[in-house]
C-alpha cells in the first residue's frame, strides 16, 4: 500500500462497542454522514444482553455502512483510511466492528486506525461543525456514559490525562438502574430525564456522597433510593405511580449536583477556564442546563450536539483524523480490548 499523505483524508469510521451499530464518513474533521442503528432488542431485559448485541451488530453493520456512504455521497474507492473502535466494550460487539474494519481495509488496500471509545467521546469536541465552536487546549472534560464517569484534563489530542472518576457505578448506570426500580424500560436515563421535566427536583432529598479529590460514587445513591422506595411502597402501594415525576426530578438533581460539584473542583484545581461534557449522559437536560450556567461564572463551556453525545462513529472518525496526521496506524493483527 502506497500511502499518499493528505491533509483532509476521507475517513470511514466504525463504532460497535456496545449496543449501537454506527458508521460515519468524514473529510478530515468534517462529518459528511453519521448513521446509527440503535438496538431495541435489549429493552425488555433491563440491560444490554451481550449475545443479542453481537447478533444485531452482524445484521446492522453492512446496511449502516452502505447508508453512511450513500448519505455522504462517497464511493468506497474514495476512502483513504478506516478508523474503528478497538475498546473498551463488549468483546462480541467489538469483534464484529473490528472484523468488518479489517476486512474492508484489506479489500480497499487502505490503512487501519484503532480508536479508544472513551478518548473518542472526549475528542468529539474537535469535530468541525458549522453550528458550534471547538474548545482550544487545555480543557477539562467530564465524560459520562453508561459504563464510564471520568474527568480528563485534555492538553492535546494525544495527551488526555485522567484526573478523577467513579469508584463504583457510572452516572449513566445509576440513571438506568434507578429508572429500572421505577419500572422504566432500558435504557432508562432518557426516560427518567423526560419525566423529570414535569417534576419537582426538591420534593425528595437524596444524597450522592462527594468522594475525595475529584472522584465520584453513585452506588450508595442507588441503594438509598431502593430502600426509600421499598419503605414508601409499604405505606402506599401506589407511591411510585403518584410521585413518579418528582422522584425522577429529585434523583436527577442529586446526580447532576454531584457531577457539577466535582467538575468545578477539577476546573479550579487545574485553573482551567474551558469545560466540556461528553458521553451519553451529556444529553441529559438538567446537566446541560447546569453546564450552561457555568458560562455565567466566567467559564467557556462546550456541550456537544445531541448526535455526538451518545455512541456514534463521527467521534471515532475525528480521533482517526488526528491519529492519521500523526501516522499512528494499526497492524491488522491488533485485537479488541474490553477494558
Give the footprint of ligand KG4 on this chain (CB under 6 A).
Answer: 18, 145-147, 172, 175-176, 187, 189-190, 193, 279-281, 283-284, 310-311
Q: Least separation, in Å, of the C-beta of 278 and ligand KG4?
A: 8
Return the number of the residue (146 or 164) whose C-beta is nearest Zn ion. Answer: 146
Site string for Zn ion, 126-145 (x = CB under 5 A): -------------------x
**C-alpha–C-alpha distance, residues 306 and 110, integer Å:** 31
Query: Helix, strand or coil for residue 319?
Result: helix
- Give the residue, chosen from 19, 20, 119, 311, that forms a contact with Zn ion under the rule CB under 5 A: 311
> Taking the complex as a whole, how short is the minimal distance between the CB of residue 19 and Zn ion, in angstroms?
10
Question: CB–CB of 108/68 below 8 Å?
Answer: no
By a kind-dependent CB cut-off of 5 to 8 A, residue 336 interacts, out of Zn ion, ligand KG4, none, with: none
Nearer to ligand KG4 by Cβ, of 69 and 124: the residue is 124
Q: In terms of CB distance, is 215 or 311 closer to ligand KG4?
A: 311
CA 14 vs. chain centroid, Å, equals: 15
Pick 119 or 176: Cβ nearer ligand KG4? 176
- Cα torsion angle, 306, 157, 168, 216, sign: negative
Q: Is 149 in the site for Zn ion (CB under 5 A)?
A: no
- Nearer to Zn ion by Cβ, of 93 and 145: the residue is 145
For cell 425522577, name the residue. 248
**Least spacing, CB of residue 256 vs ligand KG4, in Å:** 9
List the beta bridge partners of residue 140. 153, 275
β-strand partners of 31: 26
Residue showing the smallest CB distance to ligand KG4 in the complex: 280
Strands 149-156 and 159-165, by their bridges, are: antiparallel
Residue 248: Cβ within 10 Å count:
26
> Residue 117 Cβ, how far from Zn ion at the closest point, in Å?
6
Starting at the edge strand found earlier in the chain, the sheet holding 20-27 runs 30-38, 20-27, 10-15, 81-87, 112-116
CA neighbor of 135 nearest in space, from 295, 279, 17, 303: 303
Residue number with CB closer to ligand KG4 (126 or 283)? 283
Q: Shortest gap between Cβ of 174 and ligand KG4 (angstroms)?
A: 9
Nearer to Zn ion, 124 or 224 (CB): 124
Query: What is the C-alpha to C-alpha distance for residues 328 and 325, in angstroms, rounded to an integer?
Result: 8
For residue 294, the minimal CB distance to ligand KG4 (Å) is: 18
Name the residue nearer to ligand KG4 (CB basis): 31 or 179. 179
CB of 74 to ligand KG4, least distance (A): 25
Q: How far is the CB of 192 from ligand KG4 (least distance, A)?
A: 6
Residue 215 binding target from Zn ion, ligand KG4, none, CB below 5 to 8 Å by type:
none
Where are the extended beta strands (E) located within 16-100?
A: 20-27, 30-38, 81-87
* Residues that contact Zn ion, how many (by CB under 5 A): 2
Q: How many CB atoms lie within 10 A of CB 92?
A: 18
Q: How many C-beta atoms surround the C-beta of residue 271 within 10 A?
A: 7
Residue 239, SS3? Answer: helix
CA 192, CA 83: separation in Å to the nearest integer?
34
Binding site for Zn ion (CB under 5 A): 145, 311
Amino acid at each position: 500500500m502506497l500511502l499518499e499523505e493528505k491533509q483532509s483524508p476521507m475517513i470511514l469510521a466504525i463504532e460497535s462497542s456496545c449496543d449501537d451499530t454506527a458508521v460515519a464518513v468524514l473529510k478530515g474533521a468534517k462529518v459528511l454522514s453519521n448513521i446509527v442503528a440503535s438496538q431495541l432488542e435489549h429493552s425488555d431485559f433491563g440491560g444490554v444482553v451481550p449475545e443479542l448485541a453481537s447478533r444485531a451488530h452482524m445484521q446492522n453493520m453492512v446496511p449502516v455502512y452502505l447508508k453512511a456512504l450513500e448519505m455522504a455521497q462517497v464511493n468506497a474507492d474514495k476512502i483513504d483510511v478506516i478508523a474503528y473502535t478497538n475498546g473498551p466494550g463488549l468483546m462480541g460487539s467489538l469483534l464484529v466492528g473490528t472484523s468488518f474494519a479489517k476486512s474492508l481495509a484489506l479489500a480497499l488496500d487502505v490503512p487501519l486506525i484503532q480508536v479508544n471509545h472513551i478518548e473518542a467521546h472526549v475528542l468529539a469536541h474537535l469535530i468541525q461543525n458549522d453550528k458550534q465552536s471547538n474548545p482550544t487546549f487545555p480543557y477539562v472534560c467530564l465524560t459520562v456514559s453508561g459504563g464510564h464517569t471520568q474527568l480528563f484534563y485534555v492538553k492535546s489530542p494525544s495527551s488526555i490525562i485522567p484526573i478523577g472518576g467513579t469508584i463504583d457505578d457510572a452516572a449513566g448506570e445509576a440513571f438506568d438502574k434507578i429508572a429500572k426500580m421505577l419500572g422504566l424500560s432500558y435504557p432508562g436515563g432518557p426516560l427518567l430525564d423526560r419525566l423529570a421535566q414535569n417534576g419537582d427536583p426538591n420534593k425528595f432529598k437524596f444524597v450522592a456522597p462527594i468522594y475525595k479529590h475529584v472522584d465520584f460514587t453513585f452506588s450508595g445513591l442507588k441503594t438509598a433510593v431502593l430502600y426509600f422506595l421499598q419503605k414508601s411502597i409499604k405505606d402506599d402501594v401506589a407511591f411510585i405511580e403518584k410521585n413518579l415525576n418528582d422522584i425522577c426530578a429529585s434523583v436527577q438533581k442529586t446526580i447532576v449536583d454531584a457531577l457539577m460539584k466535582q467538575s468545578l473542583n477539577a476546573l479550579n484545581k487545574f485553573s482551567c477556564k474551558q469545560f466540556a461534557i461528553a458521553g451519553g449522559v451529556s444529553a441529559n437536560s438538567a446537566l446541560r442546563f447546569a453546564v450552561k450556567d457555568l458560562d455565567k461564572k466566567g467559564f467557556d463551556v462546550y456541550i456537544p450536539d445531541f448526535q455526538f453525545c451518545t455512541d456514534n462513529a463521527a467521534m471515532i472518525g475525528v480521533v482517526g483524523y488526528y491519529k492519521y496526521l500523526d501516522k499512528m496506524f494499526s497492524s491488522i493483527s491488533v485485537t479488541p480490548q474490553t477494558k
